[in-house]
Amino acid sequence: MYKCGINGLSRLFGAISEKYTLYAPKKHGVNSVSQFEPYGGGEDLYLSGNTDRGLKELFFPQYEPVARFIEKDGDLTVKEIEKQSGYTVVFGAAACDIKGLEILDLVFLKEPVDEFYKSRREKSIIISLGCDSPSETCFCTCFGVDPGKSGDISAIKSDGFYYFEILTEKGRLLESALASFCEKTDEDIEDQREKIRKRAASMPAAAIGARLTDKKTEEVFDLPLWAKLSEHCLGCGACTYLCPTCQCYDIKDDRTKDGVIRCRFWDSCMYSDFTKMSAGQPRLTQKERYRQRFMHKLVYFRENNGVFGCVGCGRCVRKCPSSLHILKVIKEISENER
């Protein structure tokens, strides 16, 4: 275990930045949006709960090229897009976002493996930060998330110090920096971690999230709640774009001056043209699209992978313009029988 004073954090970050690309949460802009960005030194960091835009974007970008086709003299050659090679370090990740990556692992690291995602996951060191400022919309503890300890290195802020505990072999790559700029300590911070866990579990949203059920597809699919809840859904896709576990994307080829670039970009099951084919759209109504999203999070993913497809980060609860978020669905499912 290592500890450093709050004022010493910038020196530690400076040492890490000399060797690795370092990302940290910042909050700025017209709308004061918090998100992970490269750390350059001297910035004010956002260290108060999970960010508006999540950790997922560093590993599964909203837009990225996946192949380039070069056309010359009638011949077409394929040029591979370079994958991540050097390590990146992320500081200040919330445990819910780290759990979200573990869910994405179940999708992108299965055969056929997504090599772009894999290279980023393998070449990253994540330093979590104990979530001592959970939002009233957070319900991560309902999904077994430990807001006090996660990642490759677990950091806790307590009494003017940051405490760092190395949890994985990847985390040990930063031990020399920690040893140089922090003090080694045998202090026990488990009491502080337990306070973080209890605070997260006491949030109002957690009481609703605790109603999660084990109902199967046949018990939930035809419930009348879908028509009622989806009636005012705008289909804006905000919930899917903010979600740390949504993984849907589309592929598009764009003409360039010397050929074609193939890119992938996030897509949303809430859009009317999602998975649209020449024969038509398989989900014609907003009710069907709304149901698909929440059935996938709460039923399908669990039946196929053994875990829910939600981590209780609360982003969709905070941002849905119609308040038709997942907590409302959980509440309705728990109160309805087929």
Do 150 and 280 lie in one domain? The reply is no
Q: Closest Cα to residue 130, out of 161, 94, 166?
A: 94
Residue 52 has a pLDDT of: 93
CB 270 within 8 A of CB 296: no
User: Among the three residues 151, 178, 209, which one is the final residue of a domain in this structure?
Assistant: 209
pLDDT higher than threshold 70 for residue 275: yes
Domain boundary among 209, 237, 254: 209
pLDDT reading at 113 higher than 60: yes
pTM of the entire structure? Answer: 0.93
Do 159 and 83 reside in the same domain of the chain? yes
Note whether 7 and 126 are same-domain residues: yes
Q: Do 197 and 231 reside in the same domain of the chain?
A: no
Which of 152, 176, 209 is where one domain is finished? 209
Q: Model confidence over 166-175: pLDDT tens digits? A: 999 999 999 9
> Could you give the CA distance from residue 152 to residue 123 in angstroms, rounded to a whole number?
12
Mean pLDDT of 72-87: 87
Q: Is the pLDDT of residue 72 over 90?
A: no
Q: Nearest 5 degrees, angle CA 67-CA 71-CA 75?
A: 115
CB 53 within 8 A of CB 34: yes
Between CA 83 and CA 115 the distance in angstroms is: 8
Q: Which domain holds residue 306?
A: 217-335
Structure tokens at 322: 């119609």
| Domain shared by 257 and 192, yes or no | no
Q: What are phi and psi of 142, to 5 degrees?
A: -70, -20
Q: Between 303 and 32, whose confidence is greater?
A: 303
Please give the average per-residue pLDDT across 154-171, as a whole number.
Answer: 95
Residues 101 and 99: their CA atoms lie apart, in Å, by: 5
Here the tokens at position 11 are 């020196």
Across the range 75-94, mean pLDDT stands at: 91
- Taking every pair of C-alpha atoms in the chain, what is the biggest distance, in angstroms? 69
SS3 content of the chain, % helix, strand, coil (to 5): 35, 25, 40
Q: Token pair of 73, please?
A: 């003299």
CB 260 within 8 A of CB 69: yes
Type and span of the H or E element at 108: helix 95-108
Are 86 and 182 contained in the same domain?
Answer: yes
% of the chain exceeding 90 in pLDDT: 78
One domain, residues 167 and 245: no
Distance CA 17, CA 37 (A): 13
**Is 335 or 282 the better-scoring residue by pLDDT?**
335
Per-chain mean pLDDT for the chain: 92
pLDDT of residue 32: 82
What gap in Å lies between CA 295 and CA 312, rounded to an integer? 16
> Are 188 and 248 in the same domain?
no
The number of residues in the chain equals 338
Looking up tokens 């764009």 gives: 254
Q: What does the pLDDT average to over 308-314?
A: 96
> Do residue 191 and residue 230 come from a single domain?
no
Which is more confidently placed, 294 or 283? 294
* Structure tokens belonging to residue 170: 């990847």
* 112 upstream amide cis, omega within 30 of 0: yes
For residues 246 and 199, membership in a common domain is answered with no
Amino acid identity of residue 180, one-letter, is S
Q: pLDDT, tens digit, for every residue of 6-57? A: 888 999 999 999 999 999 999 876 678 899 999 988 778 888 889 999 999 9
Q: Provide the 3-class DSSP secondary structure of residue 15.
A: helix
Domain total of the chain: 2
Report phi then psi at 283, rounded to 5. Answer: -125, 100
The sign one gets for the Cα dihedral 114, 116, 122, 125 is: negative
| 183 vs 185: CA distance, rounded Å | 6
Is the pLDDT reported for residue 337 higher than 70?
no
Gap between the Cα atoms of 328 and 75, Å rounded:
56
Predicted confidence at residue 207, as pLDDT, reads 94
| In a shared domain, residues 95 and 151 | yes
98 lies in the same domain as 159: yes
User: pLDDT band for position 338 (50/70/90)?
Assistant: very low
Q: What strands, in cross-sheet order, belong to the sheet with 75-80?
A: 75-80, 63-72, 259-266, 249-256
